Structure 1
Amino acid sequence: MADAMTLKRQAARPASRARLELLALLPAVLLMVGFFIYPLIEIVRLSFTDPVFGWGNYEWFFSRSANISVSIRTFWTAALVTVICLLVSYPYAYVMSTASPRIRLVLLVVVLTPLWTSLMVRTLAWIVLLQDTGIINDFLEIIGVGRIPLIRTDVGVVIGMTQLLVPFMVLPIYSVMVKVDPRLTTAAISLGARPSTAFWRIYVPLTKSGVFAGMLTVFVLGLGFYIIPALLGSPRNTMISALIQQQVGSMLQWGRGSAIGVILLLATLLSLMIFARFARGMRLVGLGGVR
C-alpha cells in the first residue's frame, strides 16, 4: 500500500511541474500576443482595409519610383553599416578576448558606453562633431585635406548608425572568441603553418557563429533607424521608417503606412532567409576547412 502511494505521488510530480512551467510562461505569452502578434495582425488588416478593402495601398507603393528608391536606400545603408561594423568590431573583439582581465574590462566599458546615453544626445553630439565648423572638419583642414560636407549626407548617416550599432556586433563575436582554445592556433603554428594561415583556417571558422549573429542583429536594427537619418541626413537620405512616419503621422494614411510596414517585414524575412542559407553554407565550408 505504501509503495502504491509513493508511486502515485511520484507520478503526480511531473504533472504538477508541467503546470507550473506553463503558468510561468503565461506572462511572456500574454506580452507576445498583446504587444506583437495582435499589433501585427492589425497592421496587416489596415493595409488591406484602409480606406477601402483591396490591394490599393500596395499598388500605390509599387507604382511610385520614390518608394522603391527609399526601400533600396534603406537596405543598402543597413548592409553597408553591417559591413563597416564587422570590419571595426572583429579586431576589437579579438583584442578584448586576448587581453588581460583589467584591459578587457576597460575595452568592454568603452564599447558599452554608447548604450548608456540617450540616442538623441548621441545624435546631437554627432551634429556638433560633423558640422562644417566642427572638430572633425577642423582636423581635416589642419592636415591639408580641407573641409568636406559630413552633415546632411550619406556619410554622416553611416557614421552615426555605425557608432550606435558597433556594440551589437562586438558582443556576439567576443562571446564566441573567448570560448576558442588558443592552443589550436598554437598547435597549427608548431606544425609548420604560418600565423596568418592558422588564423584564417583555424581561428576565423571557429568564430563564424558570432560573426553571423552580429551581422544579423546589426542588419535588422539598421533597417528601422529613424532619428539618426532624420537629423544627420537630408530628405535625399530618407529611409523607410521616415516614409512610414510621413504617411501615418503627417498624412494620416494608416493604410499606406501599414502596407509599407508589411512590405518591410516581408522583405526583411526574405533577406534573413537568404542570409541564413548563406551562413549555413559558409559554416559547412568553415567546418570542412577546420577538418
Structure 2
Amino acid sequence: MTSADMPVPPLARPENGSRRALAWDAAVERLVSFAFALPCLAVVAACVLLPCAWLFWLSAFGADGTASWENYQRILDGASYGRIFLTTFEVGLGTVVACVVLGVPFATFVSGLPPRRAMLFLAAVLLPFWTSLLVRAYAWLVLLQRSGLINGALLRLGVIDVPLPLAFNQFATVLGMTHIMLPIFLLPVLGAMRNIDRALIRAAASLGATRGYTYRAVFLPLAAPGIAAGAILVFVMSLGFYVTPAILGGGNVTVLSMRIARSLSNYANWGAASALGVLLLAFTAGLFGLSYALQRAFLARQRT
C-alpha cells in the first residue's frame, strides 16, 4: 500500500473550538442536572420556602395587610421571652456538650474496631431509634423521679437519706435529649474518623510521638469537621424539642417550642407564635452560615 492509498486521519479541532465544545458540554450537563433536580426544588419551595414566607407574613403584617412589628417588639420588651430563649439555648448547648463528651471517645473506640464488631456496637447505639420518643421520655421519668429506681436503690443502699431531685428539671431534660441525640451525633463523627488515613497515625508514632499526643495533634484535628458537623446538627435539632422538655421538665423547663404551642393553643395568637418561629429560623440560618465560614477557614488553614 502506497502512502497515497493510506487513509487520512480526520483533522483535529482547533484549540479554541475544543474549549468551546467543552464549555457547551458543561452547560448542557448543568442544564440536565437542573432538570432532574427541578422536582426536588419544587417540593422544597412548596413545603419549606412558602411556609416560611407565610410565617414571616403573619409575624410582620396585620390582618389588614399593614406592616406591624408589634409581635417582635413584644418579644424584645418581655423579660419572660428572654428567659425562654436562654433556657432553650442552655438545654441545646448542654445536650451538645454531653454528646461530645460521650460520643467522641465512643466513636474513637468504634472506629478502631474491625467492621463486624463495629457494626454490633453501632447497632446497640442506634437501637433507641426503634423505640418511640414518648416511651423513652417516660422511661427516664421512671428512673429519675423521687420514687424511681435510682432514688430507691440509693435509699436502700444507705447512700442518701432524702431522694435526689433528678427529675422535672433541666438536668433530666438534657439527659433525655442526650439519649435521643447521641446516635445522630455519632453518625457524622464515625464517618469522619473512618476516613482518616491510619498511615498518618503510624507516621506520627514512628517519629516518636506518644499515643496521647498523636490523638490530640493528629487524630482529633482530622476528625474535627465531623465533630463540628455532629455538634451543629445536635444543637439545631435540640432547639425544636417539645416532648422531652415537656415530660422530663415537668413544667419547670420552658423551651421555645413549648411557648409557641402555648401561644397557639391557649391564645390562638398566630402573630406571636410566627414571630418566635421566624427568630428561631433566623438564628438557625446564622448558625449554619457561621459554621460554613469556620469550616472553610479550617480547610484553608489545613491546605496551607
TM range (shorter): 0.7 to 0.9
Residue number among 29, 40, 44 corresponding to 1:32 in the alignment = 44
What is the TM-score of this pair, normalised by structure 1?
A: 0.87
AA aligned to 2:264 is V
Identity %: 30
1:256 counterpart residue number: 272
The equivalent of 2:74 in structure 1 is 60
Measured after TM superposition, the shift of residue 249 of structure 1 is 2.2
Distance 1:27 1:235 in 2: 43
CA distance in 2, matches of 1:279, 1:23: 30
Task: Kindly report which structure 2 residues correspond to 1:16-165, keeping only aligned pairs within 5 A, or say none.
Answer: 21-51=33-63, 53-141=67-155, 142=157, 144-145=159-160, 147-165=163-181
Distance 1:98 1:84 in 2: 22
- Are the equivalent residues in 2 in contact too, given 1:50–1:254 (CA < 8 A)? no
Q: Which moved more, 1:107-116 or 1:47-56?
A: 47-56
> How does the TM-score come out when normalised to structure 2?
0.84
1:107 to partner: Cα distance: 0.7
Matching residue within 226, 232, 250 for 1:216: 232
Spell out, residue by residue over 1:218-256, the C-alpha distance to the aligned partner (whole angstroms, 9 max, x if none): 010011100000011033310000011111222100001
Closer, same or farther: CA 149–282 of 1 in aligned 2, 3 Å: farther
Q: Distance in 1 between matches of 2:145 and 2:277?
A: 33
Structure 1 unaligned blocks of 5 or more:
4-9
Query: Following the alignment from structure 2 to structure 1, what is the Cα–Cα distance between the partners of residues 87 and 240?
Result: 12
CA distance in 1, matches of 2:294, 2:139: 37
Quote the Cα distance in structure 2 between the aligned partners of 1:139 and 1:186: 47
CA deviations over 1:167-202 (Å, ceiling 9, x no partner): 111110100111112232222122111111111111
Q: Return the alpha-carbon distance in structure 2 between the equivalents of residues 45 and 281 of structure 1.
A: 36
Q: Which structure is higher in helix share?
A: 1
Summarize the Cα distance change of 1:127–1:113 in structure 2 as closer, same or farther, 3 Å threshold.
Answer: same
User: Residue 207 of structure 1 aligns to a residue in which SS?
Assistant: helix
* 1:211–1:107 CA distance, 2 compared to 1 (3 A): same
Distance 2:116 2:37 in 1: 39
Q: Where does residue 179 of structure 1 map in the other structure?
A: 195
Structure 2 residue ranges without an equivalent (≥5) = 1-9, 11-20
Which deviates the most, 38-47 or 94-103?
94-103
In the aligned structure 2, how far is the partner of 1:110 from the partner of 1:258? 39
Partner of 1:230: 246
Does 1:168 find its partner at 2:180? Answer: no
Separation in structure 2 between the aligned mates of residue 111 and residue 159 of structure 1, nearest angstrom: 15
Tell me how far 1:272 sits from its aligned partner. 3.4
**Does the 8 Å CA contact 1:172/1:211 hold for their aligned counterparts?**
yes
CA contact (8 A) 1:176 1:210 kept: yes
Question: Alpha carbon RMSD of aligned pairs, Å?
Answer: 2.6
Give 2:230's aligned amino acid.
G
Q: Distance in 1 between matches of 2:40 and 2:295?
A: 30
Q: Secondary structure at the match of 1:73?
A: helix
Structure whose CA Rg is larger:
2
